[in-house]
Structure 1
Amino acid sequence: MCPNNQVSVILDLRSMIHNLEQEMTLQQTLENRIKDAVKQIYGATLETVELQATRKDFEGDITAVVFPMLRVIKGNPVQIGEAIGSYLVENVSEVEKFNVVQGFLNIVLSDSYFLDFFNSIEDFSSYGKVPQGKEALMVEYSSPNTNKPLHLGHVRNVLLGYSVSEIEKAAGKNVYKTQIINDRGIHICKSMLAWKKFGNGETPESNLLKGDKLVGNYYVKFDQEYKKEIESLKAEGKTEEEAKAQAPLILEAQDMLRKWEAGDEEVVALWNKMNGWVYKGFEETYKSIGVDFDFYYYESDTYLLGKDIIEEGIKNDVFFMKDDGSVWCDLTEDGLDEKLVLRSDGTAVYMTQDLGTAVQRVKDHPDVGGMIYTVGNEQDYHFKVLFLILKKLGYKWADNLFHLSYGMVDLPSGKMKSREGTVVDADDLIAQMTATAKAISEELGKIDAFSEDEKSELYKMIGLGALKYYILKVDPKKRILFNPEESVDFQGNTGPFIQYTYARIQSILRKAASTASLQRAVQVFDDQTLSVAEINMHPKEKELIKIIQQYPETIQLAAENYSPALIANYTYDLVKEFNSFYQNVPILATQDETEKMFRVKLSNAVAEVIKSAFALLGIEVPERM
């Protein structure tokens, strides 16, 4: 994993060296020429050359570090840098000039290098994306319980999982999006029992309420009534522990679970009905937030999986059985502990199920060569154990398993609790984000000319963009304090700021298209390339192209690190640079038609990369704003 403070340096260097259409990359050319220079000037052999991106406060694009050379060259590092720099200017066409700061040789690449790159891209809408290969990657995310609606924690989960899936696809992977729905267990029976006792036949249709919300209300109702029974038993002299175990409601819920496992027709029918309500509600939320899945797995189907694997593992000494008949895996030599994989009564635990589900997924999709599990960081140990056991069982694909661990999401109001009904519902959050976007947009007066339908669509696009960007710009491992008002800010590192910049570029393109002479000229320009003799490239144009160059490597680095934050913050850097370009360089106001055409095309390239990058985050961009 790349530390965040190294990411921009890696991107700058990778992108700078990767676009020349030659047998050798620019990096290889520079390394070889620097070695030649040392050989010719000093008669010494240099084994390696250390290159890095030039610091922003110095002129240059790539920096050669002189200090390591002092191991084979004796002399003043500044003088050595000057000599090597002069050699490069004479022998490498892409090197225009150089400067030396202490022991750092800052190399300035020619405008023609950047213009050649820009001319080489035929379609910026697909730029940076790699054709998908044959081997598939499965990404699991969401995986909710069917006793409550999706909440803010699920939102971070689905946004991360969906975005990582899109990034991996852009990086060349064949991706299957999946989830496992936790549709069985005592928590499900609690909602079922509460509805049966207190629901009076209420349905989503009769109450005009989404099914997942209705079922969630009865999960809360169970907890409320259960607590009353506990307090009553405690008043009779029972201890807290005794009261919790002997409360009639919990005993009934446990009995209902046993009946479900035995296939009781009445209980199974109720389970099917209430889960059906929840599934429909989930789908509405997924559609609203803009995520999807290719395959679904259900715990009711998978909870018995894994028992055969356990039996095989006992034969191969991966597992051992204790005197009480329970089965364990001894991981003490791996720095962990002993892990239960099968209870003494032969029933499965979560680990049994997860082992079986992983193997089943590969059976269902033989091309799967790895899996990503998007699950909160409270399960870090569980997945460490799961992956280790799968490796011990001899599954080759187990080397390519990754736990996309993420931190909790908090609100200024504090921690959320499902049982007490204090969770921030995902649907309510989306509605709140839309309302916040509406209030701020109306206050700024940016959309007075829009129709009501256009306004409604734009409010949701801005609100969702603000929510998604605010969450995804943060490294997954970090905990988030989510502030809705702060996220819908049209200035700074926010989704709306980037969306507004995209809309601004579309306005520039519309104005360019409305000018007949410029429109014809741009059409001709699209079919030809320009040389530095025709364009006096502004430093701001060069900086924009340098950042555009970084996009393919940003995608690859984000895929390697499973980090949408790299895409989000890259996009912000690109937008900041474009706004600086916009403020300092006349785009349509310049009198030079060739210059104007180039700047329009450059602006369009920036817009295409913004749109492409935001699509990887699951964020839409507006044509007008």
Structure 2
Amino acid sequence: MNIQEVLSNKVKEAIFAVFKVELPTVEFQPTRKDFEGDITIVVFPMLRYVKGNPERIGEQIGDYLKQHVAAVSAFNVVKGFLNIVISDAYYLEFFNAIKDTKNFGYVTNTSDDAIMVEYSSPNTNKPLHLGHIRNNLLGYSVAEIVKASGKKVYKTQIINDRGIHICKSMLAWQKYGNGETPQSTGLKGDKLVGKYYVAFDKTYKAEVAAMVAKGIAKEVAEKEAPMLLEAQEMLRKWEAGDDAVVALWKMMNSWVYTGFEETYKNLGVDFDQLYFESDTYLLGKDVVADGLKKGVFYKKEDGSVWIDLTDEGLDEKIVLRSDGTAVYMTQDIGTAIQRVKDYPDVMGMVYTVGNEQDYHFKVLFLILKKLGYSWAGQLHHLSYGMVDLPSGKMKSREGTVVDADDLMEDMTQTAATISQELGKLEDYSDDEKQALYRMIGLGALKYFILKVDPKKRILFNPEESVDFQGNTGPFIQYTYARIQSILRKAEELDLQVFADKGGLLAGLHPKEKELIKQIQLFPETIQLAAENYSPALIANYTYDLVKEFNSFYQQVSILGEANEHKKLLRVQLSKKVGEVIKSAFLLLGIQVPERM
């Protein structure tokens, strides 16, 4: 039980003892810097249950806490705020209990229930781009955070490997590719296929323009351009199982999968299970038939099947076309059900998908609830905003996307340039330098994206993200490396471990106390981040911890401290801060360097 829980229980006891009233909740907040105290109890909300002067009530609660809670050493009341001073002994006891704890803050899984986190889910007609990077980083990090909070997690994606967009790349390659392959061109497979997606669009637009020049209405031209009609015919052949089209589809998709695997490896994300839309696009039809019998869906005169969600503030949604073909909603219903069949321990799912699909997921989750699936109440859409660059929006068809591989390479080069300017790597080999540049560059990219609340849109500036000052990945990595340097020097000094039965020290330096308080927040932050599916909470906690450590580093002597007990504590404290930084950054998929 943490100190806040202890205080909450004792405040309720105090109110009942003095006023014979049961207080439902107690509100806490951090103590303001200009007041003495470690935690503040807000008295004003209690006035709904207790009549009296807030300052007087605060004094009475403070007196009770000082008598009944050993950790409370003093208190003061400022208007309706009760500021509690927690004893140094409490913080030392806490620190001594966790200083040798491995994976501090992580909770061991104690439940058979699992959560499935879906992310990435790309189309196989182009490489991964900057938008995919945000998606992958968010999904992977959320999965790791939920796992650290004590739950079993499966990471998955559904690869969109069928449809008209895939046929566009296939058709353009067939027309203009002259049999080229990733091997013959030296291009990654996903980039080669993406090249032909762009080629299709150029031809298609030229055809539309030529038709419009002949007097054909633009709307008609866009539907009847020969290139589009050929792609549609190719899709029909694929759906009919045409051997030649299916063989071409398999070959080009295999190129893309190989390219994707390389990108995922470089980005540091992985998956436990892959689903393919070519396997799932027919799922859900039987569920619709069952839902019709139960009255969840209804059929219109043309034979199409719908659901009426107007009572829930939404609209009517089609789930089956009049010709019996499925829509995306149908297959999403079927895929969700299939996943629970495949993994019976899954009791909830997280879908990492951009905010343009907010409405789709509201409808999907509501339909699954109406169909009676118990796990439908545990579905979450991890909705996130777009990523923009200073140069503006990206457009896949026009070939103006920011390629994920190129961006990662650019980040490595940016890190190299800035690191070389700082001039601290003289004793590094070329291989060590390259590994460090990559670690810094990717750390900068990941941290810049993950420190922002997922719902917010991001303007990504590569150079700003690689700054070694401020709320950036490299700043935190540099602090971790500084701590490792301190530990190496401490090892050289051969510091002896003192077993001080009196609690190690009579008193803490204020900066030591603040640092322990910040470490103490880590387990709570993991739980909060898991509940909110927000890596930003972990990222910004880590920055706060690093700021606190740097303040500690600047204001107290560590290895130069004459008192051996104090010196040892400060080294141990530095070590634990380093461990927490590393653990927190692992949850974000970021590595930390031993030297910088």
For normalisation by structure 2, the TM-score amounts to 0.97
Q: Deviations over 1:201-255 (max 9, x none)?
A: 1100111010000000000000001111111111211111111122111111011
Report the AA paired with residue 457 of structure 1.
Answer: A
Find the aligned partners of 2:522 and 2:95 in 1 and give their Cα distance: 13
Aligned to 2:72: 95
The answer as to 2:529 corresponding to 1:558 is: yes
**Amino acid across the alignment from 1:598:** L
User: One-letter code of the match for 2:108?
Assistant: P
Report the CA distance shift for 1:529/1:393 in structure 2 as closer, same or farther (over 3 A): farther
The answer for the alignment partner of 2:218 in structure 1 is 240
Q: Judging changes above 3 Å, is the alpha-carbon distance between structure 1 residues 593 and 468 closer, same or farther for their aligned structure 2 residues?
A: same
Pair 1:416-2:407 in alignment: no
Q: 2:26 aligns with which of 38, 47, 50?
A: 50
1:48 Cα deviation after fit: 4.7
**Separation of aligned partners in 2, 1:97 and 1:60:** 8
2:381 aligned counterpart, secondary structure: strand
**Does structure 1 conserve the Cα–Cα contact (< 8 Å) formed by 2:27 and 2:45?**
no
Per the alignment, in what secondary structure is the counterpart of residue 421 of structure 2? Answer: helix
Separation in 1 of the partners of 2:14 and 2:591?
Answer: 46
Counterpart selection for 1:167 from 142, 145, 151: 145
Query: In structure 2, do the counterparts of structure 1 residues 452 and 63 end up closer, same or farther at CA, with 3 Å as the change threshold?
Result: same
CA contact (8 A) 2:21 2:50 kept: no
Q: What secondary structure, in the 3-state scheme, does the structure 1 residue paired with 2:395 have? A: coil
Matched, 1:188 2:166: yes
For 2:485 and 2:239, locate their aligned partners in 1 and report how far apart those are by CA, in whole Å: 61
CA distances 1:127-150 after superposition (whole Å, capped 9, x unpaired): 111111210100000000000000
**1:66 lines up with 2:53 in the alignment:** no
CA distance in 2, matches of 1:372, 1:408: 19
Check the 8 A contact 1:302/1:353 in 2, yes or no.
yes
Question: In the alignment, which residue of structure 2 is the partner of 1:282?
Answer: 260
Give the corresponding residue for 1:544.
Answer: 515
1:466 to 437, 444, 449: 444
CA displacement 1:324-383 (0-9 Å, x = unmatched): 111111111111111010111111110011011000000000000010000000000000
Selected match of 2:186 from 208, 214, 226: 208
Q: Distance in 1 between matches of 2:316 and 2:51?
A: 59
Q: Give, in angstroms, the shift of residue 53 of structure 1.
A: 2.4
Please give the alpha-carbon distance, in whole angstroms, between the structure 1 residues aligned to 2:371 and 2:51.
57
Count of aligned residue pairs for this structure pair: 594
Match of 1:488 in 2: 466
CA–CA distance in structure 2, aligned partners of residues 33 and 593 of structure 1: 42
Is 1:325 aligned to 2:303, yes or no? yes
Which amino acid in the other structure matches residue 97 of structure 1? A
Deviations 1:517-556 (A, max 9, x none): x1xx1xx34xx46544634310111111111111111000
| 1:568 and 2:539 aligned | yes
Read off the aligned partner of 1:29 and give its amino acid letter: K
| Aligned twin of 1:623 | 594
**Residue identity matched to 1:410:** D
Contact 1:437–1:463 (Cα < 8 Å) also in 2: yes
**What CA distance in whole angstroms lies between the structure 2 residues aligned with 1:451 and 1:103?**
61
1:29 corresponding residue in structure 2: 10
Paired with 1:301 and 1:223, the residues of 2 have a C-alpha distance of 27
Give the 3-state SS of the residue equivalent to 2:319 in structure 1: strand
Q: Is this contact kept in 1: 2:10–2:65, CA < 8 A?
A: no
- Note if 1:609 corresponds to 2:596: no
SS of the aligned residue for 2:282 comes to coil
1:103 is displaced (CA, Å) by 1.9
Deviations 1:132-175 (A, max 9, x none): 12101000000000000000000000000000000000011100
Structure-1 residue corresponding to 2:359 = 381
Change (3 A) 1:596 1:336: same
State the distance in 1 between where 2:243 and 2:46 align.
Answer: 80
Taking a change above 3 Å as real, the CA distance of residues 466 and 422 of structure 1, as seen in their structure-2 partners, is same
What's 1:10 paired with?
A: none
What secondary structure, in the 3-state scheme, does the structure 2 residue paired with 1:366 have?
coil
Structure 1: runs of 5+ lacking an equivalent: 1-13, 19-24
Separation in 2, partners of 1:224, 1:481: 29
Taking structure 1 as reference, are residues 15 and 453 closer, same or farther at Cα in structure 2, changes over 3 Å only?
farther
Runs of 4+ in 1 over 4 A off after TM superposition: 68-76
Q: Which amino acid aligns with 2:552?
A: F
Q: Would you say the 8 A contact 2:12–2:22 is kept in 1?
A: no
Residue segments in structure 2 that go unaligned for 5+ positions in a row: none
AA aligned opposite 1:621: V
By how many angstroms is 1:56 displaced? Answer: 2.9
Contact 1:319 1:328 in 2 (8 A): yes
Structure 1 counterpart of 2:136 = 158
Write out per-residue CA displacement over residues 253-277 of structure 1, whole angstroms, 9 at most, x where no aligned residue. 0111011011111100000000000
Task: Supply the distance in 2 between the matched residues of 1:49 and 1:265 (Cα, whole angstroms).
Answer: 68
Aligned-partner Cα distance in 1 for 2:284–2:63: 67
CA offsets, 1:169-188, max 9 Å, x none? 00111000000000000000
Which stretch shows the higher mean deviation, 244-253 or 70-79? 70-79
Measure, in 1, the Cα distance between the counterparts of 2:591 and 2:3.
29
Distance change (3 Å), C-alpha of 1:612 and 1:259: same
Q: Secondary structure at the match of 1:17?
A: helix
Task: State the alpha-carbon separation in 2 of the partners of residues 75 and 309 from structure 1.
Answer: 61
The one of 77, 85, 88 aligned to 1:111: 88
Structure 1 stretch 290-299 or stretch 102-111: which is displaced more?
Answer: 102-111
Whole-angstrom distance in 1 between the partners of 2:267 and 2:89: 44
Among the aligned pairs, what percent are the same residue? 70
Describe the SS at the equivalent of 1:241: helix
Q: C-alpha displacement at 1:402, in angstroms?
A: 0.3
- Structure 2: which amino acid aligns with 1:85? G
- Residue of structure 1 aligned with 2:58, choices 48, 65, 81: 81
TM-score (norm 1): 0.92
Match of 1:599 in 2: 570
Partner secondary structure for residue 381 of structure 1: helix
Structure 1 residues 200 and 15, CA gap change in structure 2 (3 angstroms) = farther
Checking the alignment, whether the CA contact within 8 Å between 2:23 and 2:46 is kept in structure 1 is no
* 2:150 counterpart SS class: coil
Contact 1:112-1:531 at 8 Å conserved across structures: no
The match for 1:454 is 432
Secondary structure, in 3 states, of the residue corresponding to 2:84?
Answer: strand
Distance 1:139 1:275, change over 3 A: same
The structure-2 alpha-carbon separation of the partners of 1:75 and 1:341, relative to structure 1 and needing over 3 Å to count, comes to closer
**Post-superposition shift, 1:91?**
3.5
Instruction: Tell me, yes or no, if the aligned pair for 2:413 and 2:437 is still in contact at 8 Å.
Output: yes
Counterparts of 1:491 and 1:409 in 2: how far apart (Å)?
Answer: 23
Q: Answer yes or no: is 1:428 the counterpart of 2:387.
A: no
Distance 2:250 2:281 in 1: 17
3-state SS in 1 of match to 2:540: helix
Residue 21 (structure 1) aligns with: none
Cα distance in structure 2, aligned partners of 1:360 and 1:252: 34
Q: 1:389 to 1:542 in 2, by over 3 A?
A: same
1:384 CA drift (Å): 0.4
8 A contact 2:238–2:246 mirrored in 1: yes
After superposition, the C-alpha distances for 1:80-136 in whole angstroms (9 at most, x for unaligned) are 433443343233221111111112111101001111111111544411111112101
Question: C-alpha distance in 2, partners of 1:49/1:179?
Answer: 41
Give the CA RMSD over aligned residues. Answer: 1.6
Q: How does 1:144-155 map to 2 (within 5 A)?
A: 144-155=122-133
Q: 2:237: which partner in 1?
A: 259
Counterparts of 1:153 and 1:15 in 2: how far apart (Å)?
A: 40
Q: Quick one: distance in 1 between partners of 2:500 and 2:168? A: 68
Letter in 1 for 2:107: V
1:272 aligned residue:
250
Contact conserved, 1:125 with 1:612, CA < 8 A, in 2?
Answer: no
2: CA distance, partners of 1:340 / 1:358: 18
